[in-house]
A and B are shown apart, each in its own frame.
Chain A
């Protein structure tokens, strides 16, 4: 069916055809308990242990909405610049599947929690806003396993631990025009969710799941082409690959005089292609209707405001500020906003030392290297930002040289002590006492008469030799600039 399709659309083809992409992203909200019952919302428990009559869909059991899930949903909405509706309505989405115990999912339909948001992404042509059509809350289904058991030829296994986990489904506008833009959008969305404290967005744990709607049209055409939904795009790489494949498939189809059929396709990462799952005719009729077991959700102004006021700055905003207020390079700003913890850490260092560039250099340089070496997350960094700030201040004040500071940081990392404690214990400090420094310089000069002669004979490059010797004699505690200055006078 797709064997003849090229793996990638050629640049020529892409000059003729424009891909149109929209993403539906499911974010699992990081609440302690499930959305409609008190069972733990956690990953990795033994199968069918985090369950109760409510999430098992037992007869007579009723859902009760978890306030924390709504709060995280609102945080997600605000992080995506959405308007939160004062009143939203839960609805039943009816379909049969063994891992859906109630026979319906409790979702939101015509009155979602939030709408009309946007996510800013970077493109080669500059920043671009991708519309967020809507964000709604729903409960997750369980997990079916069709493989890996001795009797998998006859049975499927169902684990309902995940049933009832709170999800926010975020539907973008069809504003994305390439797989790279889709990749950027998902990256930015994930970052926003992490910054807002909504979810860890761990794709391996299914915290973040993505489906895509894709169509192609001749460039300049006003109408969209027929769209195809692709499911199972559960990594950033798969998303990009599947989109590349699907665009090529559609372009080839249209080029050869065929027509794209509206359908749902599944991406197979092993074969790196998509294959048809169900046609439009086989599509479910979900028979949505308002969930009679739950009252409409009313979000009061006071609650909304209190959530709004507790929202941190979003990454795009932070990056702009880091560049404009702190004078950082775009690249550093990007690196420092990779997570909320890192950005917070960096700002903590700036706050403590007042030198943003130095702070950026230390955080992205020596500190990052130390963390990497131990595979530590910034959240677990043994050196608090105030202490790194102090270290930088010591350099600024000339009490430490840069070289000494670089030696001290790993010790702070190791011993969890402050810079001063280490300096005192190990007798490390910059030699600011010119009398002592002069004495050492005199000794060095006296010990190297040959080099002195060369210098005085006009070979000024020997200066470097003397600086090195002095530094060695002072075990790096001297300020190299001060050493050069004194040497120049004495030689």
Chain B
């Protein structure tokens, strides 16, 4: 039994045939995670007790002849910015190094209700701000495919946990590409669902109008099964959608013939050579599946990065205000006055990237600048969304690279935030438009670095993404 080779369907069959117990699976997953973790630093915490308890509940249900749920016994890792009751949740930040939430995120609650076994919490960029996982207060994560390289970010730990075979699936969060980009860097599948598809209750907010929880897995089917368990309206999140949740497995017919796939010209500029080469192969494979490839234009793409960094920093500056040293946060011990408590706690508690974004966000919301920056950015956001809506009148799916380049070396872009921000240039547009984006592996570079293909769908278009992603995967997309 190798956790790294299991699929969700395989686990369901094995459990129900009593070839393995959920407890055995959990123990094996925990053992592997413990063993592998020093190589990657993917996990910040293993929740052994909770995992075993959940696994035993699955076994007990099976013993009583009850249905233990569609994710029964599936070992899942959870990004550490998603709260877990009684299990420390740090967001990769020193400020929350001792924060034990008294409540579960809705997504976690729903996964566990479906029988999933939460193994532990995965490393991430501090408050999900970063594209390399180097902004974690608890050390960077190494890419299992290339240990001297980053796994991408901010859900780097979740991507690495799945890639290294310690978890069958993982939860990540995506604000501007934080699931899709690490999935592509590590060679796994990652989905950023439509905004509102999965409840944000319990996802520690970075940029509330962009944040989403989504799955990372080793194949499209597993990602779809995890989404199936989490999706749907939640009364605790006013922005969660009422739209009914379709049957995602049924959408995966293995057929992609006739799908109109848009290829936006703007997304194929500035790629590294090897990424461009993989994209060429991906286009050819899509064509061979019977997809109709159409060149399209999304003219406002070039405004996406400034727009995104205004919207997300503005919201972040407000969302991060609560980490002030008063309640659950770490507090700077030297503080003598209220002003000092704030400035020392936040000055020492936040890492450089968080501080940079808090300052940017505070600036763009300030009196006299709001109209020029925040309001303007919201208008640009509308234009970007309209680009997509117009495109989806002609095509069913849009295919782009996930990132202009594959995983880079640890430290390589650390001193150049703008270079770092470019990692997300192809993912932030779908984020701004609230659209779902699926990252599927599409082969490796000559150096053996994974490359990802991004499939963007219309709002609530997850079924078509899964259908095409699954067909692409079955046709050998991962080994192009």
Interface residues of A (CB under 8 A from B): 53, 56-65, 92, 94, 96, 98, 101-104, 156, 158, 285, 287-289, 292-295
Bound form: Cα–Cα A295–B320 in Å? 21
* A64 in contact with B235 (CB, 8 Å): yes
B321 contacts across to A, CB distance below 8 A: 94, 96, 102-104
* A289 in contact with B326 (CB, 8 Å): no
Q: Is B42 an interface residue (CB 8 A)?
A: no
Bound form: Cα–Cα A293–B318 in Å? 12
Q: Which of B103, B105, B207, B318 has the most CB of A within 10 A?
A: B318
* A64 in contact with B238 (CB, 8 Å): yes
Task: Kindly identify, within residues 300 to 352 of chain B, every residue whose CB is under 8 Å from any CB belonging to chain A.
Answer: 314-315, 317-318, 320-322, 324, 326-328, 338, 342
Bound form: Cα–Cα A257–B426 in Å? 64
Bound form: Cα–Cα A96–B328 in Å? 16
Q: Are A285 and B83 CB-contacts (below 8 A) given A65-B238, A96-B321, A158-B326?
A: no
Q: Is B171 an interface residue (CB 8 A)?
A: no
* B365 in contact with A59 (CB, 8 Å): no
B298 to chain A, nearest CB (A): 24
Q: Are A58 and B367 CB-contacts (below 8 A) given A103-B322, A287-B318?
A: no
Q: Are A101 and B322 CB-contacts (below 8 A) given A60-B201, A293-B208?
A: yes
Bound form: Cα–Cα A158–B338 in Å? 13
A287 contacts across to B, CB distance below 8 A: 317-318, 362, 365-367, 370
Secondary structure call for the B interface: loop
A64 contacts across to B, CB distance below 8 A: 235-238
Interface string of B69-100 (1 = CB under 8 A from A): 00000000000001100000101000010010
Interface residues of B (CB under 8 A from A): 82-83, 89, 91, 96, 99, 101-103, 105, 200-205, 207-209, 235-239, 314-315, 317-318, 320-322, 324, 326-328, 338, 342, 362, 365-367, 370, 374
Bound form: Cα–Cα A267–B314 in Å? 35
* A96 in contact with B374 (CB, 8 Å): no
* A96 in contact with B324 (CB, 8 Å): yes
* B239 in contact with A295 (CB, 8 Å): yes
Q: Are A58 and B318 CB-contacts (below 8 A) given A287-B365, A289-B374, A293-B238?
A: no
Q: 11 more A-B contacts (CB under 8 A) besides A61-B201, A64-B237, A92-B318?
A: A53-B103, A59-B83, A59-B91, A59-B205, A62-B200, A102-B321, A103-B318, A103-B321, A104-B321, A289-B374, A293-B238
Q: Which of B207, B328, B362, B366 contacts A58 (CB 8 A)?
A: B328
9 cross-chain pairs, A with B, having the tightest CB-CB distances, nearest first = A103-B321, A287-B365, A292-B208, A292-B209, A59-B204, A60-B202, A60-B83, A103-B322, A60-B204
Bound form: Cα–Cα A293–B105 in Å? 16
Bound form: Cα–Cα A61–B239 in Å? 13
B317 contacts across to A, CB distance below 8 A: 94, 287
Bound form: Cα–Cα A153–B58 in Å? 55
Q: Are A98 and B208 CB-contacts (below 8 A) given A59-B322, A60-B203?
A: no
* B238 in contact with A59 (CB, 8 Å): no
B130 to chain A, nearest CB (A): 18
Q: List 9 A-B contacts (CB under 8 A).
A: A58-B101, A59-B99, A62-B238, A101-B326, A103-B318, A103-B321, A287-B367, A289-B315, A294-B238
Bound form: Cα–Cα A59–B126 in Å? 14
* A59 in contact with B96 (CB, 8 Å): yes
Q: Name which residue of chain B comes closest to A102, CB basis.
A: B322
* A59 in contact with B102 (CB, 8 Å): no
